[in-house]
Every structure is written in structure tokens, then in C-alpha cells.
Amino acid sequence: MPELPDTGTFAAASSHITPDDVAKEVSVGPSPEPHLSSIREYIDAGFDHLILTQIGPEQDPFFEFFERELRDRILL
């Protein structure tokens, strides 16, 4: 995973990646099930600390989604 020094090189390096490609590797979207499934894989593997992030400017809706759809379903 090389470091990319600017947005132009990032765009060039990722130009062949589609949203569907990303969705195969990262849980995305408004449905809680893909996220819960991904989280469960880590919990089942023994991880006890996870960091969930929202990439982009929509931070408040992300926190609301976490509180409404995920928090109570992933707490051990």
C-alpha cells in the first residue's frame, strides 16, 4: 500500500476501482446488516476494540445511524 502524495496520484491509482469493488471489501450503505456482519466477523475473531468511521462530511448522520441501528446490537 504505497503512500500517494496528492489527489492526482490517488485518482490515477484508483481510477479502475468501481463502487461495487469497494462494496466487496468494505461494508457500505444505509442498511445495518452488512455493517453488523462485518463487525461480527471481528468480534468472533477475538477483537475487543473496533473503530468505525464515516468517510466524508456526513458525520452527524453517521453517529445517529450508529446509535439507532448498531450500538445496541454489537455491545457485548
What is the rounded distance in angstroms from the CA atom of residue 6 to the CA atom of residue 10?
A: 6
pTM, to two decimals: 0.70
Write down the pLDDT at residue 18. Answer: 92
Write down the pLDDT at residue 55. Answer: 81
Query: What is the rounded average pLDDT of the residues 20-28?
Result: 87
Q: Is the pLDDT of residue 76 over 60?
A: no
What is the rounded distance in angstroms from the CA atom of residue 19 to the CA atom of residue 17?
A: 7
Q: Is the pLDDT of residue 46 over 80?
A: yes
Residue from 53, 1, 64 nearest 27 by CA: 53
